[in-house]
Structure 1
Amino acid sequence: MADLSTSIAGVALPNLFFNASGVWCQHESELKELLDSESGSLITKSATFEHREGNPSPRYVPLPTGSINSMGLPNEGFEYYLNYAKNYDYTNKKPLFVSLSGLSLQDNVKMVEQFAAADLPCVLEINFSCPNVPGKPQLGYDMEAMENALKVLAPIVKKPFGIKLPPYFDIAHFDAVAAIVNKIDNLAFVTCVNSVGNGLAIDFETETAVIKPKDGFGGLGGAMILNTALANVNAFHRRLTGGKQVIGVGGVTSGKEAFLHVLAGASAVQIGTQLKEEGPSFFARVKKELEEIMQAKGYKSLDDFRGKVKTL
């Protein structure tokens, strides 16, 4: 049998698949469904310091080639997810990741300080890439602010942690972000990509934008962003040093795309749009499909082909 196990930030995962922060993870009932699924791990909804309702509906719409959303970080607030992490059963084989997305550096500092004080065996993923909060720019596109935030937060976290990044489209940006990441010793992984920000979907019949917030502008996800996601995964896999890892997310609808993410350099794979559309049963399907692909290609483990994409 093909071995789908992996590890992130020194923590073992029985398989490489879990949800992308934001999908199927806002409430404990959803997190329970992830625990009961065949995912290898789970991550909580990106938490802000206070509870947020998020943007007005409709704010998520599936499209023929993926999805568009402008959720606006709806979540139950930091305390809710901290309590979940405190009560989590760490003896089960699924490690817990916790996503934080403070609306300011001060909010992130307050949340990280409380997590550090709790000294829990979960792994933090700090979201530098929420594109759908009106009036709040993505930290991931402000190199100076991102470096400053990391220099403030990393010493507080102390343990290995990761950051969620937006998609980049310029080689110079890959170079610049990787240089920042490589300076932070306990920054163990980057998760890329978040949705491709500020797309616009228009209904042909009604001539109307399909989502309500931001005049219809929202983050694109699903199949249409696969190639952007693969490029970002591979760009960072090539540039990161010191054993730093990449978690791939974007465009995975089957085992084939998951295989491509690993081939590009991903150490784990998160699922967003397809999980939203298919539900947690998707994990059983994608696991089976990836195992079959690996067997057909003669690969016994993810290490056999991770990052080994050939170029012409």
Structure 2
Amino acid sequence: MVSTATKIGNFDFDNCLMNAAGVYCMTREELAEIDASLAGSFVTKTGTLEARDGNPEPRYADTLLGSINSMGLPNKGFDYYLDYVTELQNQPNSKNHFLSLVGLSPAETHTILKQVEASDYTGLVELNLSCPNVPGKPQIAYDFETTTEILTEVFSYYTKPLGVKLPPYFDIVHFDQAAAVFNQFPLTFVNCVNSIGNGLVIDDETVLIRPKNGFGGIGGDYIKPTALANVHAFYQRLNPSIQIIGTGGVKSGRDAFEHILCGASMVQIGTALHQEGPAIFERITNELKAIMSEKGYEKIEDFRGKLNYIEA
């Protein structure tokens, strides 16, 4: 019997597929749709200390090979999402979930995490170190010194399961440096990757989105090779106790299979979920199971991380 069940830390999931933060996760109603689907879990919209309207419209556009967006972190405030996941965890037979959050400054991040630490929520938290679409704010995870400072302080008080959402890295030395930082801390997982920042897509003579004169994060087919490289690079470099969630360019069972082959324990779907809706989880799960069955794999651990190289 082929199974796509998986684990992240001490948490079990019936299916390794879920949404990516930012898609189908703004409201309780959207999250409930994901929860009712074949997805193994959901992650909430990245919540900030206060609710945010985000950037002006149009701020998302589908493109020939994926999408471009500059959302500006619209969300209902982290309390909204914390209340919901806490409510769900107390229901019988509830799935395990991920709470995504970030502060607009290190001080805000610590304020939020301290409130989560003091709360009744015992599930997984994803600290988003890869918000590329807030004007004037750099991506935290590209600054290794700041990342180290933030995580050092976080783990001085935070005792619950915590992972980080990462932007894509593009240089081998940056994989080495980033892994050296993350290996210092008791992280439960890393999530690779957020969108590739500051792309530009043009229709005729005009940009597709309004914020930042059209510059935005690129998702979909464009980013799968970059996402796979990041998943595998960190699989090779991180402590085995730090698991990997693969995100980027997943729209078929084959795409999910490749993320797992590169080392992902769980796989998130973003652009394709936005385009197809929650029914996508059933389709991709069936496609993934068909590939596994054809290859004789009964569970994802049979092939996770077992990417083949071409020998010299």
Q: Is TM > 0.5 for Structure 1 vs Structure 2?
A: yes
Asked if the contact 1:182/1:242 (under 8 Å) is kept, the reply is no
Equivalent residue number for residue 131 of structure 2:
130
Gaps of 5+ in 2: none
Quote the offset at 1:130 in angstroms.
Answer: 0.6
Deviations 1:67-98 (A, max 9, x none): 00000000001221121122114432410110
2:154 pairs with 1:156:
no
Deviations 1:247-290 (A, max 9, x none): 00000010000000000000000110011110111000010000
Equivalent residue number for residue 232 of structure 1:
230
Equivalent residue number for residue 206 of structure 2:
208
Equivalent residue number for residue 179 of structure 2:
178
TM-score by length of 2: 0.97
In the alignment, the residues of structure 1 paired with residue 17 and residue 153 of structure 2 have an alpha-carbon distance, to the nearest angstrom, of: 30
Equivalent residue number for residue 28 of structure 2:
28
Quote the offset at 1:101 in angstroms.
Answer: 1.6
Gaps of 5+ in 1: none
In the alignment, the residues of structure 2 paired with residue 257 and residue 309 of structure 1 have an alpha-carbon distance, to the nearest angstrom, of: 14
Residue type of the partner of 1:39?
A
In the alignment, the residues of structure 2 paired with residue 92 and residue 269 of structure 1 have an alpha-carbon distance, to the nearest angstrom, of: 22
Report how many aligned residue pairs link the two structures. Answer: 309
**1:11-50 paired onto structure 2 within 5 Å:** 11-50=11-50
SS in 2 for 1:133: coil
In the alignment, the residues of structure 2 paired with residue 177 and residue 68 of structure 1 have an alpha-carbon distance, to the nearest angstrom, of: 26
Residue type of the partner of 1:158?
T
Asked if the contact 1:167/1:196 (under 8 Å) is kept, the reply is yes
Asked if the contact 2:60/2:67 (under 8 Å) is kept, the reply is yes
Equivalent residue number for residue 310 of structure 1:
308
Equivalent residue number for residue 167 of structure 1:
168
Equivalent residue number for residue 100 of structure 1:
101
Residue type of the partner of 1:51?
A
Equivalent residue number for residue 117 of structure 1:
118
| % same residue | 51
Asked if the contact 1:189/1:247 (under 8 Å) is kept, the reply is yes
Asked if the contact 2:82/2:121 (under 8 Å) is kept, the reply is no
In the alignment, the residues of structure 2 paired with residue 116 and residue 172 of structure 1 have an alpha-carbon distance, to the nearest angstrom, of: 34
Quote the offset at 1:10 in angstroms.
Answer: 1.4
Asked if the contact 1:66/1:220 (under 8 Å) is kept, the reply is yes
- The correspondence for 2:219, drawn from 218, 221, 230, is 221
In the alignment, the residues of structure 2 paired with residue 242 and residue 30 of structure 1 have an alpha-carbon distance, to the nearest angstrom, of: 34
Task: Give the CA RMSD over aligned residues.
Answer: 0.9
- The correspondence for 1:258, drawn from 230, 250, 256, is 256
TM-score by length of 1: 0.97
